[in-house]
Structure 1
């Protein structure tokens, strides 16, 4: 199981320094975040943060939790992703989702998709566009909400073992064991992993090992049903671990046994997740199950 950390608060230089410290302290992933006008806190462009982190680190995976693709132009995302991917030597991952409801990049802009259904359709178009772009061949695109004339994107992504020349994509997938949201989960099976989010009133809860185990069992059966080719697939869980390191290690061990492949420490309370406290937690290194 790999462990990562979100640089949720701090100045731009502080967040980049967190990425360097995370690599030195043994974390395996460092993530920025993608907010346009939200929470009345300092927010920075994730691509700029990741580019700076890419040239100051050598090993750690880099991404953002999560990129709100429906409010971004996918042809620009391709170029930004290729740039960070090559700066980092192939360490970029793309967690993606429909975006939070109170992001001003949606709510304050009249021509942006507002309804979740519309955002989901635009997300699917953007993901299809990225899949075509990674191939490096000329293509035109016609989706449900997006269309372009012929475009071509070179260079291709850095070649990755087991993945090929593409940037791994982790869509957010919503899970409810009683009523699995098939469309959301099928989207993740077309890509490289899932950022697990629970449905409804449990949406802000940290998934339990039982949640993860039931999800993994459903995905395994669904993969066989759809005849989806086997390949690398990450199950990504995020939240805040207990402060007691033994308890934190036990929680990670239970999640790993249930099938999770990533834990991302994500601290969003600005009263407790200060730049100083985040850096202290990063310097302590990840608990090991």
Structure 2
């Protein structure tokens, strides 16, 4: 079992230097990962300040050596692919191959999509997510990409350098509750990040992954580690415990968790 801190770069944690301090402390204390929420807007009554995840992760990458990092998760429907391809490869090199890319549909809480003219229909966002994920994998290979899809266009471009990680940067797909299309999507890649699930839902999700892949071998399954219920962490197949801190978490509360270190490995 691997253990990661899941932190929002909001409020008291908006300063990238503060996040760097947390990352360094977490790495020293034995944490395996630091994953940051990727949002561009929240209800101002809840969150008044937000920092850019990619710049923050770059700062973290230069100050750490072993802890895995990444956005968890970034909605691909609101990302320009040419920029994301360059960002992911650059961050993979900067971190010496420690990037995990979490992807998902995103949410429209307080108009995070509508206020910026983004696609809001869930099915369309899912189609864009599928197309974009495949395009990322193709671009990371370094060959000339000519893709004229329904939602994305790249016309004869080779993206180089390629990532340090082989065969590619790991992609984890987010899924929530009973939704199984995201689980089947995740089974095509390297990992699944499950949110708001119970043990039965987790079991059904793992069955879906096995149905697609044949087994769980070489596949990561991350679940939220609830402080008062560790049942999900005991399910065979779960490989990562995500210790999630709320959007309004204080620096002191996350710092205390970081320096205390993760629970004993099992």
TM-score normalised by the chain length of structure 1: 0.82
**Structure-1 residue corresponding to 2:80:** 73
**Structure-1 residue corresponding to 2:227:** 241
Pick aligned residue for 2:172 from 162, 170, 173:
170
Distance (Å, rounded) in 2 between the aligned partners of 1:263 and 1:235: 9
- Are 1:36 and 2:40 an aligned pair? yes
Distance (Å, rounded) in 1 between the aligned partners of 2:263 and 2:217: 28
CA deviation vs aligned residue, 1:3-34 (integer Å, no higher than 9, x gap) = 10023241221112111111011100001221
| Aligned structure 1 segments of 4 or more residues deviating by more than 6 angstroms | none
Could you say what secondary structure the match of 2:5 adopts?
A: strand
Task: Structure 1: give runs of 5+ residues left out of the alignment.
Answer: 198-204, 243-247
Q: With a CA cutoff of 8 Å and minimum separation of 6, indicate the structure with the bigger relative contact order.
A: 2
Task: Please state how far the C-alpha of 1:192 moved relative to its aligned partner.
Answer: 0.7
Matches within 5 A, 1:154-169: 154-159=160-165, 164-169=166-171
Could you say what secondary structure the match of 1:108 adopts?
A: helix
Taking a change above 3 Å as real, the CA distance of residues 69 and 26 of structure 1, as seen in their structure-2 partners, is: same
- Are 1:213 and 2:203 an aligned pair? yes
**Structure-2 residue corresponding to 1:266:** 244
**Structure-1 residue corresponding to 2:5:** 5
**Structure-2 residue corresponding to 1:46:** 53
Task: Please state how far the C-alpha of 1:105 moved relative to its aligned partner.
Answer: 4.6
Could you say what secondary structure the match of 1:258 adopts?
A: coil
Taking a change above 3 Å as real, the CA distance of residues 79 and 103 of structure 1, as seen in their structure-2 partners, is: farther
**Structure-2 residue corresponding to 1:136:** 142
Taking a change above 3 Å as real, the CA distance of residues 287 and 210 of structure 1, as seen in their structure-2 partners, is: farther
Task: Please state how far the C-alpha of 1:126 moved relative to its aligned partner.
Answer: 1.1
Tell me if structure 1 keeps the 8 A contact 2:81–2:132: yes
- Are 1:114 and 2:116 an aligned pair? no
Distance (Å, rounded) in 2 between the aligned partners of 1:89 and 1:24: 18
Tell me if structure 2 keeps the 8 A contact 1:7–1:18: no
TM-score normalised by the chain length of structure 2: 0.89
Taking a change above 3 Å as real, the CA distance of residues 81 and 139 of structure 1, as seen in their structure-2 partners, is: same
- Number of residue pairs aligned between Structure 1 and Structure 2: 258
Taking a change above 3 Å as real, the CA distance of residues 16 and 240 of structure 1, as seen in their structure-2 partners, is: farther
- Are 1:275 and 2:265 an aligned pair? no
Taking a change above 3 Å as real, the CA distance of residues 214 and 124 of structure 1, as seen in their structure-2 partners, is: closer
**Structure-2 residue corresponding to 1:192:** 190
Distance (Å, rounded) in 2 between the aligned partners of 1:115 and 1:221: 28
Taking a change above 3 Å as real, the CA distance of residues 259 and 28 of structure 1, as seen in their structure-2 partners, is: same
Pick aligned residue for 1:55 from 59, 62, 83:
62
Distance (Å, rounded) in 1 between the aligned partners of 2:174 and 2:87: 20
- Root-mean-square deviation over aligned CA pairs: 2.1
Distance (Å, rounded) in 1 between the aligned partners of 2:81 and 2:53: 15
Could you say what secondary structure the match of 1:172 adopts?
A: strand
Distance (Å, rounded) in 1 between the aligned partners of 2:216 and 2:256: 39
Could you say what secondary structure the match of 1:287 adopts?
A: coil
**Structure-2 residue corresponding to 1:18:** 22
Tell me if structure 1 keeps the 8 A contact 2:97–2:164: yes
